[in-house]
Structure 1
C-alpha cells in the first residue's frame, strides 16, 4: 500500500477569481482524497514519490519500476479531471520494458499537484512540464498522454522540445481536430456545480464508448469526483496551428480512437498525418477511453515505436 502524502490543498471559490484550480470546499477535498487514496492502492507500489517546484506550482510525480541501463524514461500525462490512478491498467504492461515510468499529477487538475500561478497558454503548460523534467534530473524523456494529456505532450514538444525524445498521443483532444459538441458538453459538466449524479454518469459513459457503468470503475469514480469536487481555472486548450505542426520535429505516435467522442477521428488522423515525423493509426473499435481499453496493445505498440526511433 502506497503511503500517499497530500499537500495543503487550495480550497474555495476565491482561487477561481485568481485563475487557479481549487477544490470547491473542504468536504469536496476530503471526498476526492478518499477516492484518490483508494485508487492509488490498486496501482503497483511506486518506487519513489516526489513533489517538485515549478514557476506555476508544485507537481507530484510517482516513479514506477527501477529501470535498467540507459533506457530513456517514459513520462505519463493524464487527461482532464484525472491524475496518476488513471494509469491503473497501463502501468504493469508499460513497466515490463524495464525503462523507468514516471506518472505526473497534472498541474491545475485534481490530485496532489498544487497550482500557484495562472496558466493562460500552451506555452505556460509546456513550461511547468519542462521544469518538472528538469527537477527530476531527466535530460531526455518520452512523453505519453491521453486526451488533454496528449495535448500537453504535444505542447511541450512544440514549446520546450529540448528534453523531449518523442511524444505518444492517445486520442489527443483539441490537437488535430476541433472538439465535438459532445466533448464540449462533457467539459461543461466539469465546471457546473451541483450536476445530478445520473447526468454526470451519462457524460462518463459518452467518454467510455457508451458503457452504462463507467462510474462503477475506480477510474470513473475518480474522474466523477474530479468533475464534481474540483474547478479547473485555465482557458480551453488551443488547437495547434498548421504552421506549428509543420515545425514539429519530435517523433510522434498518434493513436486515434475510431469511436472517439472528442473529435471526428478521420479528420484528426488526416491532420496528424501532416506531421513531419508522425506515425498515425486509427484503432476502429477504441473509444476516447482507449488507454483503459487496450493497455497491453498500447504497451506493445509504444515499445515498438520507441525501439524503431
Structure 2
C-alpha cells in the first residue's frame, strides 16, 4: 500500500451554507478515503506529495517520473482526482515529469477555504498553485472538466501555460448534451438511488455495465454521493478569448461521447483555432483517458516532442 497523507477535511452539516465543498458525513469521508486509497495503490509511487497553499485553499499535488524537463500537469474530470490517471501515468512519465492536481472545490485531497465565484477565481487558484510548484510555464493536459480548467487557465493566465491538450472537454467549443446535463444533476443529488447513479456512470463510460466496480468508478461514485460541491457556473470562453490563445493546442474529441457531437465540436474548434491540432477518435467515449492510455501517451509524446525536441 502506498502511503497517502490525508489532510483534515470539511465534514458534516456544520459546513452547510458556507459555499465551499465538504463531505456530507464521516461515513462518506471514510468511504471516499477507501476509494481514493484503492485507486492510488495502482499508481506509480510519486516522488513528492505536497499541499500547496492558495488564496482559496490548499491544493494537493503529486510529482511523478523524472526530475528534469518541463512538467506535464494533469487535471482530472469532475468528481474525480489523481487516481483517475492510473492507466495513463506509466506512459506519460516515460515522456517527462508529471504533476497531478486534485481540483479545488471537487472531491479529492485539496481542501477549499474560500468560495469560488466565477471563472476568474477558477483560473486564479490554479495559477497560484503552479507559481509555487514551477517558476516557468508548464504543459497542461485535462480530461473532461479538467480540459475546460486547462483552457480557462490559459485564457486568464497565459503566462503559466507552455501548451494545452484537452480530452473531450465540455464548455470549451460549445454547450453540452442533455445526457451530460442529466449526469451533472445526478452528481449533486445525494438521494440518488445507487442503480440510477451507476447508470449515469455507465453513460459516462460509453455504456460500460459495471463502472462502479472499477477503482475509478468507485472514486467517482463516492464523490457524487458523499461530497457537496459549491462551484460557479461553468462559463464557456468567448470566440475572441479562444482565438487569442497562442500556445500549441491539441484537442481530442471522443466520437462516442455523451457530452456533445464530437464532429461538430471539432469543426468549430478548427474554425476558431486553425493553427490547433484537432482530432476525433471515433471509438472513444467520454472515458477516453482510461480507454486509450497507450494511444494518448504516444500522441502526447509526438505533440510535446514537436514543441520541445529532446526535452523529457
Normalising by the smaller structure, the TM-score range is over 0.9
Q: Work out whether 1:294 is the aligned partner of 2:292.
A: yes
Deviation digits for residues 223-254 of structure 1, max 9, x if unmatched? 00100000110123111111111111122100
Corresponding residue number in structure 2 for 1:19? 19
| Residue 303 of structure 1: how far off its partner (Å) | 1.2
Structure 2 residue matching 1:79: 3-state secondary structure: coil
Q: Work out whether 1:174 is the aligned partner of 2:171.
A: yes
Distance in 2 (alpha carbons) for counterparts of 1:17 and 1:271? 39
| Residue 138 of structure 1: how far off its partner (Å) | 3.6
| Residue 288 of structure 1: how far off its partner (Å) | 0.3
Q: Work out whether 1:92 is the aligned partner of 2:121.
A: no
Distance in 1 (alpha carbons) for counterparts of 2:282 and 2:212? 24
| Residue 177 of structure 1: how far off its partner (Å) | 1.6
Distance in 1 (alpha carbons) for counterparts of 2:71 and 2:155? 19
Structure 2 residue matching 1:51: 3-state secondary structure: strand
Corresponding residue number in structure 2 for 1:41? 41
Aligned length: 306
TM-score (normalizing by structure 1): 0.96
Distance in 2 (alpha carbons) for counterparts of 1:16 and 1:122? 23
> Gapped runs of 5+ residues in structure 2?
308-312
CA contact (8 A) 1:246 1:276 kept: no
Show the 5 A alignment for 1:189-208.
Answer: 189-208=186-205
Change in Cα spacing, 1:277 to 1:125, as seen in structure 2 (3 Å) is farther
Could you tell which deviates more after superposition, 298-307 or 236-245?
Answer: 236-245
Moved segments of 4+, more than 2 Å = 12-16
Structure 1 residue matching 2:51: 3-state secondary structure: strand
Could you tell which deviates more after superposition, 148-157 or 111-120?
Answer: 111-120
Corresponding residue number in structure 2 for 1:58? 58
Corresponding residue number in structure 2 for 1:238? 235
CA contact (8 A) 2:177 2:258 kept: yes
Corresponding residue number in structure 1 for 2:248? 251
CA contact (8 A) 1:58 1:113 kept: yes
Corresponding residue number in structure 2 for 1:154? 151
Structure 1 residue matching 2:279: 3-state secondary structure: strand
| Residue 132 of structure 1: how far off its partner (Å) | 0.8
CA contact (8 A) 1:57 1:113 kept: yes
Could you tell which deviates more after superposition, 233-242 or 40-49?
Answer: 233-242
Distance in 2 (alpha carbons) for counterparts of 1:159 and 1:269? 23
Corresponding residue number in structure 2 for 1:67? 67
Corresponding residue number in structure 2 for 1:145? 142
RMSD: 1.1
Corresponding residue number in structure 2 for 1:165? 162
> Gapped runs of 5+ residues in structure 1?
none
Structure 2 residue matching 1:118: 3-state secondary structure: coil
Distance in 1 (alpha carbons) for counterparts of 2:156 and 2:74? 18
Show the 5 A alignment for 1:91-130.
Answer: 91-97=89-95, 99-130=96-127
Distance in 2 (alpha carbons) for counterparts of 1:236 and 1:288? 21
Distance in 2 (alpha carbons) for counterparts of 1:135 and 1:143? 16
CA contact (8 A) 1:190 1:231 kept: no
| Residue 147 of structure 1: how far off its partner (Å) | 0.2
